[in-house]
């Protein structure tokens, strides 16, 4: 079943959500965001589904992050964009059923954030992870309130301030990914892990997710929604976005 730019498939107790715009590196277009939201709602509503697996179409990218071509311009557009994108990125956390991100390639920016909002990441040995927003004069909106709890403050600051990607092995060492597997075995391994989860008492599994995720959101997320629109209005962001589109090095002031 196709929903927006997402392929949704149910196989027994497992539901598969595939981001399906490989020509755009599965960037978070409005159609992909719509498809993910609707797919998660279907997982929630179907009592036969115990676990969801999210992956990307193609060998290059799980999700390359925000769709730069759709970036907002006016203050009102910026505010609306931030108010929409951050709740979207935390939606895997709010899903009561466990979600596994099968990261098949680059997971950058919003794609990285979508992955860490899932309960588990199984990474291809070709996967790359990063928050490169600093190159646009921005910071990661969702990761800035989550990443330090996973990798520690110093590493989170380094990743956010330098914007340099890490490979799958480093992501596993830092606790971002649960395990790394050969690229051609990714879906097989992610499915096997999902089946193990699905075989456990589902109420206990859902309660474990709820307990471990307690306290997420709240004031930190509200602050991000309120504060981040101001970054979009700086001259550095305008220069960063223009440079990205022109494929040149930005000259930040």
**Active-site residues: which are they?**
113, 133
* DSSP string across 88-139: HHTHHHH-SS-EEEEE-SEEETHHHHHHHHSSEEEEETT-EEE-GGGGGT--
* DSSP string across 64-95: --B-GGG---SHHHHHHHHHHHHHHHTHHHH-
Beta carbons of 93 and 146 less than 8 angstroms apart: no
Residue 212, classed as helix, strand or coil, is: helix
Report the 10 Å Cβ neighbour count for 84.
Answer: 13
Nearest residue to 133 (alpha-carbon basis) of 115, 116, 157, 110: 110
Report the 10 Å Cβ neighbour count for 161.
Answer: 11
Distance between CA atoms of residues 88 and 82, nearest Å: 10
Residue 103, classed as helix, strand or coil, is: strand
Distance between CA atoms of residues 34 and 174, nearest Å: 31
């Amino acid at each position: 079943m196709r929903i927006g730019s997402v392929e949704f498939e149910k196989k027994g107790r497992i539901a598969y959500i595939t981001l399906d715009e490989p020509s755009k590196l599965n960037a978070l277009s409005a159609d992909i965001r719509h498809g993910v939201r609707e797919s998660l709602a279907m997982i929630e509503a179907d009592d036969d589904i115990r676990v969801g697996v999210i992956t990307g179409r193609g060998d290059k990218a799980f999700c390359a992050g925000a769709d730069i071509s759709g970036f907002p311009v006016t203050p009102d557009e910026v505010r609306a964009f931030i108010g929409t994108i951050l709740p979207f990125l935390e939606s895997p956390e709010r899903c009561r059923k466990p979600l596994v991100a099968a990261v098949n390639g680059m997971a950058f920016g919003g794609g990285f954030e979508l992955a860490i909002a899932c309960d588990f990441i199984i990474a291809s040995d070709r996967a790359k992870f990063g928050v490169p927003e600093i190159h646009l004069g921005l910071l990661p909106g969702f990761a800035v309130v989550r990443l330090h709890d996973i990798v520690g403050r110093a590493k989170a600051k380094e990743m956010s301030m330098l914007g340099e990607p890490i490979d799958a092995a480093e992501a596993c060492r830092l606790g971002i990914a649960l395990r790394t597997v050969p690229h051609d075995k990714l879906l097989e391994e992610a499915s096997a892990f999902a089946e193990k989860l699905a075989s456990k008492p589902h109420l206990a599994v859902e309660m474990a997710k709820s307990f471990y995720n307690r306290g997420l959101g709240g004031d930190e997320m509200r602050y991000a929604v309120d504060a981040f629109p101001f970054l979009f209005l700086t001259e550095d962001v305008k220069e960063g976005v223009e440079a990205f589109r022109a494929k040149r090095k930005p000259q930040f002031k």
